Copies of this chain bind each other. A is one copy, B any other.
Amino acid sequence: MFRPELKVLDCTIRDGGLMNEWRFDKAMVKDVFDGLAKAGIDYVELGYRADKKLFSPDDFGPWRFCDEEDLRDVAHECETKVAVMVDVGRTDYEAFLPADDSIVKLFRVATYVKDMDKALELGNHIKSFGYEVSVNIMAISCAPEAELDHAIEQLAATDFDMVYLVDSFGYFTSQHIHYLAEKYLNRLPGKQIGIHTHNNQQLAFANTVEAALKGINYADGSIYGIGRAAGNCPIELLLGFLHNPRFDVRAVFDLIEQYFIDLKKQLRWGYELPYAITGALNKHPRAAMAFIQAGQQGSFARFYDQLLNSEDS
């Protein structure tokens, strides 16, 4: 596929940070930003801007908070824009500079369907400072359709720039992606639509491709697929698929070689059976992460039956 307008956002540090409390050292994050800039990636998401009244900087690495000065230590102004994620209910409204004074270009508001009113408020607040704003609606595989439709209707009436289709649990197959991509594209005219996938069932890259084929123009990837649990869409596969000469995948290969092969052994994201089970059953991966961290007490079959018989996720 070659569609020049399709933009790529790398979420390596932000989603990968869920596996190590965002304790990536600055030299490494700087190399990651520089490498991704060299590869031609459009946006690099460097973490969350969490509220320090709710989360102590003693307990997390700097990319949990993304202070302006920390961001400037690792990134610089260039074609590759800095993105930061904010969680509804976990964000300090005072923590935003005017966009002209910040290295951040894009804030992505992560929300559940049920919190859409709060997401709109937070998004409007951030938009008022002059930033690009995206709303990423999480866990939609468990949201009642009417509520999702209402949330989309509300988003259509905003001046936000993007809305992301997110497969939080790694549950969707191409049929879901096609259906939802059409919904988002049809009901959000004038907005860019993005896709963020998880790899529980080894479908993160495939689903990203399906969304792109349907016309979605923002795609998330991460280096070597790093991300929570089974991880995300490997950005090296995505670049290979896009065949866009402005991307150079070699710079991503170099980062994988330098950092991510060792990091994968250490942080252990990627395909594992408990993640496949939560994905196939449309459940949050937290049960699988706990099962793995506890040294897999009990059999996979028993883990499966427990989840199958659990009342909720």
A140 part of interface (Cβ distance < 8 Å):
no
Contact status of A205 and B202, CB under 8 A, knowing A174-B213, A250-B304, A256-B300: yes
9 residue pairs of the A-B complex, CB under 8 angstroms, read A173-B241, A174-B209, A174-B213, A175-B213, A236-B276, A240-B280, A241-B280, A253-B300, A257-B299
A134 within 8 A of B: no
- Residues in chain B near residue A301, CB distance under 8 A: 250, 253-254
Q: What is the chain B residue whose CB lies nearest that of A296?
A: B257
Interface range on chain A: under 10, 10 to 19, 20 to 34, or 35 or more? 35 or more
A22 to B230: give the CA distance in the assembly, Å: 30
In contact, A174 and B210 (Cβ under 8 angstroms): yes
Within 8 A of B (CB), among A240-260: 240-241, 249-250, 253-254, 256-257
Given A201-B237, A236-B276, A241-B280, 11 more A-B residue pairs with CB atoms under 8 Å apart are A173-B241, A174-B174, A174-B213, A206-B206, A234-B271, A240-B276, A250-B301, A250-B305, A254-B299, A254-B301, A256-B273
A32 to B66, CA, bound (A): 50
Contacts of A202 in B (CB 8 A): 199, 202, 204-206, 234, 237
Shortest distance in angstroms between A139's beta carbon and chain B's nearest beta carbon? 20
Identical subunits present: 2
Q: How far is the CA of A265 from the CA of B292 in the complex (A)?
A: 17
Asked if A103 lies at the interface with its beta carbon under 8 angstroms from chain B, I say no
Contacts of A241 in B (CB 8 A): 173, 280
The answer to whether the Cβ of A270 comes within 8 Å of any Cβ in the partner chain is yes
Please tell me if A142 contacts chain B, counting CB pairs below 8 Å: no
Q: Which residues of B contact A209 (CB under 8 A)?
A: 173-174
Q: Is A203 an interface residue (CB 8 A)?
A: yes
